[in-house]
């Protein structure tokens, strides 16, 4: 990540509401050139609205929004020449072929990449003459990324690029995004998959109810809240919560999906105490394990609910 | 310009690769022409009326008249050549037979051993295939009989076939401009469906994220429909001319003007519908609800004069009435419902008003 030079995105106190609903309620952030920036949050958090304001598809109610150094409200056309856009779940002219669609989109821009090169970049060579309606979900998503790249953009917006894809297709899309960064492009994406944010993003903003709750690199976000690691096992009534909370090293105990999670800054003490206690109470903690805290934990801690609720 | 053309071609490809759309846009109107043509070309009236002009005024010509009188399919009215030709142009008679002066002389002369023949003139309208065939058949048969009886089969009396176009047009000729009007109405109103579909699927929004200006998106849609309108016109008129021998006699430039004005007006109506409809299902339903009454209440398929007063006042409100009227007047000199200028003004009015409403209310997502 290079933090040098002008940021490619600079948003200051962006607000946008629909009727009484504050979709975006005072959001500020910057994205540096060459950076992959992720917005993580549940459906309805305001991610899509934010990204669509940046793409020039929606007018903000207030706030300052600059993309590639230009004001989005004043210069939408010149920005659109230089950015690449992939929208959430768009199906394109279903009866046009991959090549025809790419050619069509190329004609919208003053400067564009050869179609063949785009097809190769997203590995759709064998389906170049297939109609877009006949493509699989993953292929359609790759096509929609190719369409976002026709003008060789400096900055690419990807709105939930892997939603609805199987794990293999998701992996192949991740490789594509990493390839973009390797070519020096800046990427802003939204997702509600924490693995995706962890895997791809240099920095992440966690968004909920139209606000950014926390922003930083993934290790920063986790480190800021969780110095400790998590000891987890299947919850059982034989091990009462109030005693678990007092075990050595435990800073906090929580219940997640039928599991008891003990956040601990001294894992050996905690495990030792837990096993001694289990012995004493004639109970057994099933599926006992230790892990680092994750973005999911951060999100849970920030909002009191899981990401995909 | 390249963008506009590319977008129009993309839309055209989408249309031609969609079998259902192809059917409704091109084959349905042609089926209509064929169906109506077959239904109505047997002009309904089983008797054919013929004008009889006797310029000979002899016992022989009266005898020939008697022979014709025995043909059950034909009824006759007698008059001067001038009167009967006028009657045929008005549509009162379907053909005129002229027995020329000298017919008796020729017959008598033949018996006396003189050579020579005399030609009976037969006026028919080639656009009325069926009646023309009936009359020509009857005339040939009867004259053969007379030749056989009086001259032992020698061709003393021959036929000189002449054509005379009647302005009272045949039912098929009347209907072809109506079917064209229907096709133009449908292509305009139906345009709402792909537009709503493209919005629902986010295609319009995706285009909005490119530098493509919106007016080009709209213009390419209009261009596509006008191309389709031109193709439909050629197909419908082509089938009408090739299969049913209708005659296009009017002002072709004005007719082309009405084709595009009509397509434009109904396209504006389609855009307006698309402004208020949210889902593709809604659009397909509403489009049917709009086009059905237009088709049957506009009086394009039956003469305006035959309608009950109530229906006539409904029809006077509908734009399709004026498109049908304009096309009929400019293509086949049909009887008019309204002056041409009024036809054009009404269509232009619908175009402007609906386009203005669309411009205000159209949603891109």
Which of A77, A87, A90 faces B211 most closely, judged by CB atoms?
A77
In chain B, what are the domain boundaries?
Answer: 2-41+170-361, 48-163
Residue of A94, A156, A159 to mutate, testing the B interface (most B Cβ within 10 Å of its Cβ) = A94
Pick A90 or A75 by higher pLDDT: A75
- In tens, the pLDDT along A46-86 reads 999 999 999 999 999 999 999 999 999 999 999 999 999 99
Question: Which residues in chain B come in under a pLDDT of 70?
Answer: 41-46, 127, 129, 166-170, 303, 305, 333-335
Rounded to whole angstroms, how far apart are CA atoms A4 and A9? 13
Using the Cβ of A129 and the Cβ atoms of chain B, whether some distance falls under 8 Å is answered with no
Angle between helix B59-69 and B103-111 (nearest 10):
100
- Average pLDDT for A271-279: 91
- Which option is the CATH number for A9-222: 3.40.630.40, 3.40.50.300, 3.40.50.1820, 3.40.120.10? 3.40.50.300
Tokens representing B43 are 């002009």
User: What ipTM goes with this model?
Assistant: 0.80
What's the DSSP call for residue A127? G
High-pLDDT (> 90) share of chain A, %: 58
Q: Measured between alpha carbons, how far is residue A34 from residues A100, A118, A196, B86 in Å?
A: 31, 20, 18, 88
pLDDT for position B29: 86
Q: What is the CATH number of domain B48-163?
A: 3.40.1710.10
Using the Cβ of B209 and the Cβ atoms of chain A, whether some distance falls under 8 Å is answered with yes
Question: With an 8 Å Cβ cutoff, are B201 and A104 in contact?
Answer: no
pLDDT for position B138: 87
Question: With an 8 Å Cβ cutoff, are A109 and B202 in contact?
Answer: no
The helix (run of H) or strand (run of E) holding residue B151 is: helix B129-151
Using the Cβ of B201 and the Cβ atoms of chain A, whether some distance falls under 8 Å is answered with yes
Confidence at A2, pLDDT banded by 50, 70, 90: very low
Tokens representing B323 are 């498109």
pLDDT for position B168: 58
Rounded to whole angstroms, how far apart are CA atoms A176 and A192? 19
Residue of B1, B5, B10 to mutate, testing the A interface (most A Cβ within 10 Å of its Cβ) = B10
Question: With an 8 Å Cβ cutoff, are B10 and A57 in contact?
Answer: no
- In tens, the pLDDT along A163-187 reads 888 888 889 899 999 999 999 999 9
pLDDT, mean over chain A: 90
Using the Cβ of A192 and the Cβ atoms of chain B, whether some distance falls under 8 Å is answered with no
Using the Cβ of B214 and the Cβ atoms of chain A, whether some distance falls under 8 Å is answered with no
- Which option is the CATH number for A227-291: 3.30.1300.10, 3.30.470.20, 3.20.20.140, 3.30.70.980? 3.30.70.980
Angle at the Cα of B60 from the Cα atoms of B58 and B66, rounded to 5 degrees: 110
pLDDT for position A309: 47
Tokens representing A113 are 């990449």
Using the Cβ of A57 and the Cβ atoms of chain B, whether some distance falls under 8 Å is answered with yes
The helix (run of H) or strand (run of E) holding residue B230 is: helix B214-244
In chain A, what are the domain boundaries?
Answer: 9-222, 227-291
pLDDT for position A1: 43
Q: Measured between alpha carbons, how far is residue A256 from residues A77, A222, A261 in Å?
A: 48, 17, 7
Residue of A75, A81, A82, A87 to mutate, testing the B interface (most B Cβ within 10 Å of its Cβ) = A87
Which of B10, B205, B208 faces A93 most closely, judged by CB atoms?
B10
User: Is the entire prediction scored with pTM above 0.90?
Assistant: no
Phi, psi dihedrals of residue A63, rounded to the nearest 5°: 105, 170
Q: From the centroid of its chain, how far is CA A249? A: 33
Angle at the Cα of A24 from the Cα atoms of A20 and A28, rounded to 5 degrees: 150
What is the CB-side half-sphere exposure of residue A294 using CA atoms within 13 A? 14
What's the DSSP call for residue A83? E
């Amino acid at each position: 990540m290079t933090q040098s030079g002008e940021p490619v995105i600079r948003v200051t106190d962006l607000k946008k509401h629909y009727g009484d609903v504050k979709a975006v309620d005072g959001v500020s952030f910057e994205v540096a050139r060459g950076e992959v920036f992720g917005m993580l949050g549940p459906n309805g958090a305001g991610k899509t609205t934010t990204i669509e304001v940046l793409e020039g598809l929606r007018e903000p109610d207030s706030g300052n929004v600059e993309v590639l150094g230009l004001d989005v409200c004043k210069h939408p056309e010149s920005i659109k020449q230089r950015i690449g856009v992939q929208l959430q779940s768009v199906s394109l002219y279903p009866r046009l072929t991959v090549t025809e669609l790419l050619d069509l989109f190329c004609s919208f821009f003053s400067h564009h990449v050869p179609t063949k090169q785009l097809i190769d970049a997203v590995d759709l060579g064998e389906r170049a003459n297939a109609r877009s309606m006949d493509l699989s979900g993953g292929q359609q998503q790759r096509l929609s990324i190719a369409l976002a790249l026709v003008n060789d953009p400096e900055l690419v917006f990807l709105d939930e690029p892997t939603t609805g894809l199987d794990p293999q297709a998701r992996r192949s899309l991740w490789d594509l995004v990493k390839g973009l960064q390797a070519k020096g492009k800046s990427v802003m994406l939204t997702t509600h998959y924490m693995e995706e944010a962890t895997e791809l993003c240099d920095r992440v903003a966690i968004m909920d109810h139209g606000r950014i709750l926390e922003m930083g690199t993934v290790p920063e976000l986790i480190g800021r809240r969780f110095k400790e690691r998590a000891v987890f096992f299947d919850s059982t009534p034989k091990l009462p919560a109030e005693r678990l909370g007092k075990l050595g090293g435990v800073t906090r105990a929580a219940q997640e999906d039928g599991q008891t999670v003990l956040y601990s800054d001294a894992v050996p003490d905690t495990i030792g105490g837990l096993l001694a206690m289990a012995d004493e109470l004639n109970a057994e903690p099933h599926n006992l394990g230790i892990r680092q805290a994750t973005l999911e934990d951060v999100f849970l801690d920030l909002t009191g609910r899981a990401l995909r609720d | 310009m390249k963008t506009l053309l590319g977008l129009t071609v993309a839309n055209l490809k989408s249309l031609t690769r969609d079998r259902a759309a192809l059917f409704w846009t091109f084959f349905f109107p042609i089926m209509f022409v064929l169906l109506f043509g077959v239904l109505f070309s047997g002009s309904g009236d089983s008797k054919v009326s013929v004008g009889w002009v006797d310029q000979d005024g002899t016992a022989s010509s009266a005898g020939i008249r008697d022979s014709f009188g025995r043909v059950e399919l034909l009824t006759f009215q007698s008059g001067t050549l001038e009167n009967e030709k006028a009657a045929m142009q008005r549509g009162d008679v379907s053909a005129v037979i002229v027995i020329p002066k000298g017919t008796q002389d020729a017959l008598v002369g033949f018996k006396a051993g003189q050579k020579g023949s005399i030609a009976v003139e037969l006026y028919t309208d080639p656009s009325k295939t069926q009646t023309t065939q009936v009359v020509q058949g009857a005339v040939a048969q009867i004259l053969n009989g007379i030749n056989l009886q009086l001259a032992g089969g020698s061709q003393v009396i021959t036929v000189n076939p002449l054509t005379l176009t009647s302005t009272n047009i045949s039912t098929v000729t009347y209907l072809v401009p109506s079917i064209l009007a229907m096709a133009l109405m449908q292509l305009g109103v139906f345009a709402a469906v792909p537009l709503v579909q493209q919005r629902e699927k986010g295609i319009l929004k995706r285009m909005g994220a490119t530098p493509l200006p919106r007016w080009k998106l709209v213009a390419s849609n209009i261009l596509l429909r006008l191309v389709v309108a031109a193709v439909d016109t050629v197909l419908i008129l082509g089938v009408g001319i090739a299969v049913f021998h209708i005659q296009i006699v009017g002002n072709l430039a004005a007719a082309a003007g009405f084709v595009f004005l009509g397509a434009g007006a109904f396209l504006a109506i389609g855009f307006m519908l698309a402004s208020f409809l949210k889902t593709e299902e809604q659009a397909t339903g509403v489009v049917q609800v709009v086009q059905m009454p237009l088709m049957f209440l506009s009086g394009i398929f039956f003469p305006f004069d035959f309608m009950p007063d109530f229906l006539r006042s409904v029809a006077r409100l509908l734009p399709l009435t004026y498109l049908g009227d304009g096309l009929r007047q400019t293509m086949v000199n049909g009887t008019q419902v309204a002056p041409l200028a009024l036809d054009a003004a009404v269509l232009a009015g619908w175009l402007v008003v609906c386009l203005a409403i669309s411009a205000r209310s159209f949603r891109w997502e």
